[in-house]
Chains A and B, each alone.
Chain A
Amino acid sequence: MTDELQLIFNGERLTARRGQSIAGALLASGRRSWRTTAAGRLPRGLFCGIGVCFDCLVTVNGVRDIRACQRPATEGDVVETQDETLPLRRTEKSR
């Protein structure tokens, strides 16, 4: 049994080591961020690394909101970044 496994990240092949989390595999591949903040579109990736902050969310095999730091990488995982259209602010001006 080889020590390596293959993931697909946004359509690209990514090699991970067995036992690594998805976040670990992304960091090891040189990726520091894979999400943006809602308002300022600032880059976010791993922050707490222990499943608390929800900053590192990705879609894995079609399921949204997976914490990359908590999910062990498994052979053939299809990992995608996720983004959201934000609520339109209806302020007094547009009433």
Chain B
Amino acid sequence: MPRPSDVIVVGAGIVGAACAYALSRAGFVVTVIEAKAAASGTSGQGEGNILVSDRGPGAELVLAQYSLTRWDRIEQELAEYLPTGFPELEYELKGGVVVATTEAGAESLLAFAGTQRPAGVTAIELDHDGALALEPHLNPEVTAAVHYPQDAQVQPVIATEALLAAARTLGAATIFGEQVVGALRGPGPTITGVRTDRDEYPASQVIIACGPWSAQVAETLGSWLPVRPRRGVLLVTTRMPHKIFHKVYDADYVGAVVSDDHGLQTSSVIESTAAGTVLVGSSRRQSGFDQSLDLHAVREIARKAITIFPFLADASVMRVYGGLRPFMPDHLPVIGPDPLVSGLWHATGHEGAGISLSLGTGDLITSLITGSTSPVDPRPYAPARLPRPDTVEVPA
């Protein structure tokens, strides 16, 4: 039987990796168990966004702001635990520009920015000329824009691997290719470890960090979560001369992020990558775990991108990729102890913000497990807030 762990983290995406790192740094013996590979799900299927621009005041913004302070110094902090020659995280404080191309869009964009400023978000209003000065190739029809210099990005796969490697240096074990199939149970509704398809792993605490797959894993372990997959699609152009200098979004993006609509929603999120390609998103659609090519979404994303940057009409799309976001009906992540099963914890439901919120999530869950002061008020994220359907029974 494997060594007993203080904490098992199920899932090696960015959130699981951040939890493993924070807990290892706090002195816990940690084992990460992942069914596939590091960052093989949601974490490796997005853009690596670390945004404050898409959030109004509230609990998610608070966690994003705290996480941003952690991202600002994580590379330095990890350097101590990483082997020489470990690749850079490609953390870049490139800033975002949100653009409106209609009068109505301008009005709601500027009003939204007005609500963000008192909450500590730097949101600089730009007129037509100001917007074109920052992004000279924008559609000249631009009616208003807001510059968010705090928006950043990171290479999410490298970041995940770095957090896992640092955790290993601190004593954590990482196990790949084993699927969690059940719980080890103590007396009463208590979890004392997990069973995988190969072995049994005893532990005092178990954290589920499986993104959109967390609902299934929670059920396997005797609990329940309302996390659902929300699909997204991205287009990648061939390399081109550098013409886009920030993350550029259309003003509809915020509306799409906070909506509950199940149908297809698209809004532009466009940026150049370090390699010279342009990433063009984004879409949101709830269609289960379906990952087949969504040509309808691709067309709509491309059409909208051209209204923001007309020169993209001639660009060649080289690839289409995408993934599943862990969607929560109340648009807040689930971070904290399971209300049914003692020793079980959740760290999921970050929807499209998992990269951004991962470091804050790791610190928050570590503080809850150690009983130390939390970096942010944990109550808004507590799993106990979720209304539980009658069909879920408390395990005996």
Chain A residues near B (Cβ < 8 Å)? 38-39, 54, 57, 64-65, 84-92, 95
Contact = CB atoms under 8 A, between A and B. Distances in A.
Given A39-B275, A86-B276, A91 B92 contact: yes
Which range contains the number of B residues in contact with the other chain? 20 to 34
Given A84-B239, A84-B276, A65 B316 contact: yes
20 contacts: A54-B318, A57-B238, A57-B239, A64-B238, A64-B240, A64-B314, A65-B238, A65-B316, A84-B241, A86-B242, A86-B276, A87-B242, A87-B274, A87-B276, A88-B242, A89-B274, A90-B95, A91-B91, A91-B92, A92-B72
B276 A38 contact: yes
Across chains A and B, which 3 residue pairs bring their CB atoms closest together, nearest first?
A: A65-B316, A38-B275, A65-B238
B93 A38 contact: no
B248 to A, nearest CB: 13
A87 B93 contact: no
A89 B274 CA distance: 7
A54 B92 contact: no
B209 to A, nearest CB: 27
Interface in B268-285: 272-276
Given A54-B238, A57-B238, A65-B238, A86 B93 contact: no
Contacts of B318: 54
Contacts of B239: 38, 57, 84
Given A90-B95, A91-B91, 18 more contacts: A38-B274, A54-B318, A57-B238, A57-B239, A64-B240, A64-B314, A64-B316, A84-B276, A86-B242, A86-B275, A86-B276, A87-B242, A87-B245, A87-B274, A87-B276, A89-B274, A90-B92, A90-B93
B94 interface: yes
Nearest to A93: B93
B155 to A, nearest CB: 12
A85 B94 CA distance: 17
Contacts of B275: 38-39, 86
A90 B94 CA distance: 6
Q: Is the interface of B mostly helix, strand, loop or mixed?
A: loop
A92 B92 CA distance: 7
Contacts of B245: 87
Interface in B212-242: 238-242
Contacts of A92: 72, 91, 93
Nearest to A54: B318
Nearest to B277: A38
A87 B272 contact: yes
Given A39-B275, A92-B93, A85 B242 contact: yes
Contacts of B315: 65
Contacts of A87: 242, 245, 272-274, 276
Nearest to A53: B318
B274 A84 contact: no
Nearest to A66: B316
A54 B276 CA distance: 13
Contacts of A91: 91-93
A64 B311 CA distance: 13
A65 B239 CA distance: 8
